[in-house]
């Protein structure tokens, strides 16, 4: 039977001992009174909701799926999903980090992200319904008119209405400049929108009273390509002048996709047949508004894999302690049993520690990124806002791609711990593997994220932002460089930081001569950059643990943190050498392959 214990202690460690988030939050006027006790109390209750309400319907939802009525175009979610959503709304969870001006509670974004990590652990498919609403809320909050905000944000904040984003079309995915959906201007200032959108997560369901779709479409006179795309609000039900729900709009689900995982999430094909919409922002500048939602979604997808990595680790650890198989190579460990628990075997420990290291490293990066997002939007100092936005732009593709790749590695490793029992449905492990697999694909495949990181975020400004992250590493090295106990954590990061400069320059020079060189190196490059970032946070976590032990703490938490840090630097971090060697081989062995791929 699957278990889940919300990792509250580790969340508290990252927030309060490593990042000291309350000190940063108190520099922001809206969070001036925020304290650790409040944050901890909220997350404790959030953990109960995830473990007690969402997890029990995770497997049943996977087995039951969603059902589309082809006559009414209505979708019924699995048993228990609607009731769980009502509990979520009634408890005020939907409003957690939203603006009080629209009925929100105004809590920090980092709290909301950690709450969502726990929901993703417990039930990723369910968490996608309210999760997408946060992205739609952010897009309208940033780019909508005051009238649009008043019309939609109050009920999206309360959870009465949910949101989606409608980008992909049957003939185009990431290349949105190829889209064909059309928006015809009407005399009353609205638009009639016609087209087909596919792979729309939570595109149709029975959880909320209305679904607010954010749709990309082209105006009749739009220029070609991505510069001719506009953004529109297209609600499932039109909204009356008094804010109440009106007539059914002509936007509906024509099919649900039959997927490998997240089967309880309604992934819909959406048809728009002259559906009424209103424009968000300026004509032909829809991507500006949509990027707000897309970037929020990319952070959210990384958080999905973080959640699955955590719950897969927890269950594999319990199993490894209970399952007996063979004897330890170094001698009998369980003398009262016919065989030893499999946790005595080195490679089982390697698989477990891989998941643990990737979960805890991912959590530190996620919290750090959430604080950057908070500062970008709410800090009173313009320079802090700008610097935070720049750093977050660099880290976003790493959050999305590195954490989800790690989730793939970790969930598969944890399933392997179960042996044959992991491959069957009874243990729940194979669902974590299946559910995680989509995270590497949607919201821009991990290859797209890699191209974004290397091509735009690094080479696009001659490595300026990467150098700023390097300064964080430099400051840590300067602080701890003479501390022998920190050498095993600091030295690998410092060396890789120096290597990254030459590595980046080399790829940039080759890419200037042949752009395919960037494409050939990008995936390897992102993974190296991911380890640089994880290495920095693991060094900081080790620093705190060492200080606590030196101060006399006997809490085994800190010993465990050091042991995991040592494992990470010894067994996972060294793959950077192989990755850099692979990246340097260039594009020729990939592109000069006409015969091999004939």
Tell me how far apart the alpha carbons of residues 359 and 403 are, in angstroms, rounded to a whole number: 8
Q: What DSSP character marks residue 270?
A: E
Q: Find, among 47, 84, 24, 126, the residue nearest to 431 by Cα.
A: 126
Q: Which residues pair with 74 in a beta bridge?
A: 69
Inter-residue long-range contacts of 482-488, CB under 8 Å, 24+ positions, other chains counted: 485/546, 486/539, 486/542, 486/543, 486/546, 488/566, 488/569
Catalytic residue selected from 169, 257, 430, 443 = 443
| Residue 249: φ, ψ to 5° | -80, 160
| Burial of residue 411, with CB atoms counted within 10 A of its CB: 0-12 exposed, 13-18 middle, 19 or more buried | buried
What CA–CA distance (Å, rounded) separates 321 from 342? Answer: 7
Q: How far apart are CA 189 and CA 39, in angstroms?
A: 44
Q: How far apart are CA 568 and CA 488, in angstroms?
A: 11
Look at the chain and count its residues: 598
- What residues pair up with 193 in beta bridges, in sequence order? 183, 275
Q: Is 480 a residue of the active site?
A: no
CA distances from residue 233 to 20, 73, 168 in whole angstroms, order as listed: 39, 20, 16
Q: Take residue 433 and report the two structure tokens written for it.
A: 């593997």
193 Cβ neighbours under 8 A, 6+ residues apart: 181, 182, 183, 184, 215, 217, 232, 234, 251, 272, 274, 275, 276, 277
Helix (H) or strand (E) holding 278: strand 267-280
CB pairs under 8 A, 24+ apart, for 10-17? 10/360, 10/363, 11/43, 11/114, 11/363, 11/367, 12/36, 12/40, 13/541, 13/544, 13/557, 13/561, 14/363, 14/364, 14/367, 14/541, 15/39, 15/110, 15/114, 15/367, 17/544, 17/548
User: What CA–CA distances, in Å, run from 410 to 35, 234, 277, 407, 476?
Assistant: 34, 39, 43, 5, 29
Q: In sequence order, which residues have a C-beta less than 8 Å from that of residue 223 and are 6 or more positions away?
A: 284
Helix (H, G, I), strand (E, B) or coil at 388: helix
Residues recognised as catalytic: 443
């Amino acid at each position: 039977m699957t278990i889940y214990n919300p990792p509250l202690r580790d969340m508290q460690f990252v927030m309060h001992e490593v990042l000291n988030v309350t000190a940063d939050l108190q520099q922001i006027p809206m969070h001036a009174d925020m304290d650790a006790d409040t944050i901890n109390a909220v997350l404790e209750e959030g953990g109960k909701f995830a473990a007690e309400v969402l997890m029990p319907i995770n497997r049943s939802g996977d087995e039951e799926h969603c059902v589309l009525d082809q006559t009414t175009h209505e979708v019924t979610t699995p048993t228990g999903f609607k009731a769980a959503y009502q509990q979520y709304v009634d408890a005020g969870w939907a409003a957690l980090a939203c603006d009080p001006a629209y009925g929100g509670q105004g809590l920090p974004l980092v709290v909301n992200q950690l709450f969502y990590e726990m929901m993703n652990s417990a039930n990723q498919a369910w968490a996608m319904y309210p999760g997408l609403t946060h992205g739609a809320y952010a897009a309208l909050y940033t780019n909508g008119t005051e009238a649009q905000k008043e019309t939609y944000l109050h009920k999206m904040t309360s959870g009465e209405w949910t949101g989606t984003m409608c980008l992909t079309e049957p003939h185009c995915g990431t290349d949105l400049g190829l889209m064909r959906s059309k928006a015809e201007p009407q005399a009353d200032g609205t638009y009639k929108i016609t087209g087909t959108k596919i792979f729309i997560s939570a595109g149709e369901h029975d959880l909320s009273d209305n679904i607010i779709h954010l749709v990309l479409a082209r105006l009749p006179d739009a220029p070609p390509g991505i510069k001719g795309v506009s953004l529109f609000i297209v609600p499932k039900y039109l909204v009356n002048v008094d804010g109440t729900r009106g007539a059914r709009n002509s936007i509906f689900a024509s099919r649900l996709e039959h997927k490998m995982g997240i089967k309880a999430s309604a992934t819909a094909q959406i048809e728009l047949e002259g559906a009424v919409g209103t424009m968000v922002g300026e004509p032909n500048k829809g991507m500006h508004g949509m990027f707000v939602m897309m970037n929020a979604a990319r952070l959210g997808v990384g958080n999905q894999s973080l959640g699955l990595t955590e719950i897969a680790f927890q269950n594999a650890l319990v199993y490894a302690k209970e399952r007996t198989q063979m004897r330890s190579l170094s001698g009998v460990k369980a003398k009262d049993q016919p065989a030893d628990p499999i946790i005595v075997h080195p490679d089982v420990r390697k698989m477990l520690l891989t998941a643990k290291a990737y979960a805890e490293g991912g959590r530190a990066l996620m919290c750090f990124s959430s604080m950057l997002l908070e500062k970008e939007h709410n800090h009173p100092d313009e320079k802090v806002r700008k610097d935070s936005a720049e750093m977050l732009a660099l880290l976003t593709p790493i959050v999305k791609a590195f954490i989800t790749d790690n989730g793939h590695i970790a969930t598969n490793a944890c399933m392997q711990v179960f042996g044959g029992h992991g491959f069957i449905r009874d243990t729940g492990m194979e669902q974590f593997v299946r559910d995680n697999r989509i995270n590497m694909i949607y919201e821009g495949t991990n290859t797209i994220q890699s191209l974004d990181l290397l091509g735009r975020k690094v080479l696009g400004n001659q490595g300026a932002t990467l150098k700023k992250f390097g300064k964080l590493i430099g400051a840590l090295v300067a602080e701890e460089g003479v501390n022998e106990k920190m050498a095993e954590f600091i030295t690998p990061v410092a060396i890789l930081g120096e290597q990254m400069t030459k590595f980046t320059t080399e790829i940039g020079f080759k890419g200037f001569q042949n752009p395919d060189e960037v494409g050939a190196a990008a995936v390897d490059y992102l993974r190296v950059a991911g380890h640089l970032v994880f290495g920095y946070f693991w060094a900081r976590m080790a620093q705190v643990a060492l200080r606590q032990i030196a101060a006399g703490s006997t809490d085994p938490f800190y010993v465990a943190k050091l042991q995991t840090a040592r494992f990470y630097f010894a067994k996972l971090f060294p793959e950077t050498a192989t990755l850099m060697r692979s990246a340097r081989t260039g594009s020729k062995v990939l592109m000069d392959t006409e015969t091999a791929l004939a």
